[in-house]
Amino acid sequence: MNIDEVRASLLERVTELDNPREVLKDNRLKALYAEIPKLPNEQRGAFGRQINELKEALEVAIVERENAALDQTVEPIDITAPFDSNGTKLTLLPTENGTIHPLSREITNVIDIFTRMGFEAIESRQIDDDFHMFTSLNFPPGHPARDGYDTFRTEEGFIPPAHTSTMQNRILRAGREKLEQGGQIAAISYGRVFRNEDVDATHEHTFHQCEGVFVSATASLSQMLGTLQAFFETYYGQKLKTKTQPGYFPFTEPSLEFAIEKPVSLGGSGKEWLEMLGCGMIHPNVLKAADIDPTKYRGFAWGGGLERLVMLKYGIEDLRHFESGKLQFLREFK
């Protein structure tokens, strides 16, 4: 069988067939391979190389034919050019239809209020270690919050923080120089927190918190209560009565639960109370963990959920709406 004649015939078929790859199944190609065992040993190598060269030539011809067919059906585009330069105008929603997520907007509002009061705003971490999450905050060994029931942990032992208090030790350490120069530490930390919760209308495994820390030589409980009252009155836009009751947190002593009267904007009548957050004077052990002398300095701290603030402000009945991505919900805040 003349290999040159087979080559010419198969290359011609590549140009004629709708599916040029069918050429590779041609019986004449198979017949060429069948000839190899019949040849003398000294001719087999050269004949085999000729067949391989033929197959390579066919592959090149097939690819060229396929590319030519593609060029006829698909208009080439310049992926580096603006979309309108390629001739096909995309249908995009106008930018005026977009809005800031209600939670993002209210977090910005909270940050704005506290920074105008003189607090530095620091975004919390989304992964941390046991020391900052528990030990530096005076959580004793064996405390229930250390186990996996409340707190997520990675296989490496890191922790997606369950509260923004995980930033407190860092804030205190960063502010020691200010204290020694006669100043004060005043900062809030805010961000996502994560807990091993069953999700329902009032519970989520991922939500947001805001924590405040203030330390000076003269910090007092009355300063803390005044700060919190000023914040809530600014946030809800009216004068409010407040009250506290005893609570327990490992990182504060005394510890308090802080409540406000239900604002008029939320349908309040002055007789209903809303518990808003936990607070208290920073425990001496927490100051010591940051190398701050508790005999010279004292401070207060507070922390609470941001979703609760927003839900109350807008009458949102289900916490899950924030992460749902439902346009019907988001359009209410346009």
pLDDT in tens, 190-244: 998 888 777 777 777 888 899 999 999 999 999 999 999 999 999 988 898 999 9
Residue type, 244: T
The CATH topology of domain 102-333 is: BirA Bifunctional Protein; domain 2 (3.30.930)
The H or E element that residue 10 is part of is helix 3-16
Closest CA to 202 of 322, 313, 42, 287: 322
Q: Per-residue pLDDT for 132 more than 80?
A: yes
pLDDT at position 149 over 70: no
DSSP string, 130-143: HHHHTGGGTPPTT-
pLDDT more than 70, % of the chain: 88
Q: Average the pLDDT over 284-292 and give the result.
A: 95
Cα angle 75, 79, 85 (rounded to 5 degrees) comes to 70
- Give mean pLDDT, residues 121-136: 90
Query: Looking at the whole model, is its pTM more than 0.75?
Result: no
Neighbour-count burial for 172-208, b at 16+ CB within 10 Å, e otherwise: beebbeebeeeebbbbbbbbbbbbeeeeeeeebeebb
Q: How far apart are CA 190 and CA 210, in angstroms?
A: 4
Which pLDDT value is given to residue 146?
Answer: 66
Q: What is the three-class DSSP state of 278?
A: strand
How far apart CA 215 and CA 224 sit, in angstroms, is: 11
Collect all residues with Cβ–Cβ distance below 8 Å to 176 and sequence separation of at least 6. 290, 291, 292
pLDDT (0 to 100) of residue 316:
82
Q: How far does Cα 4 stand from its chain's mean position?
A: 64
Query: Residue 318: what pLDDT?
Result: 80
Answer yes or no: are the C-beta atoms of 281 and 252 closer than 8 Å.
Answer: yes
pLDDT, position 309: 85
- Averaged pLDDT score across all residues of the chain: 84
Q: Report helix, strand or coil for 273.
A: strand
Least confident of 39-53, 81-95, 143-157, 306-320: 81-95
Per-residue pLDDT at 280: 95
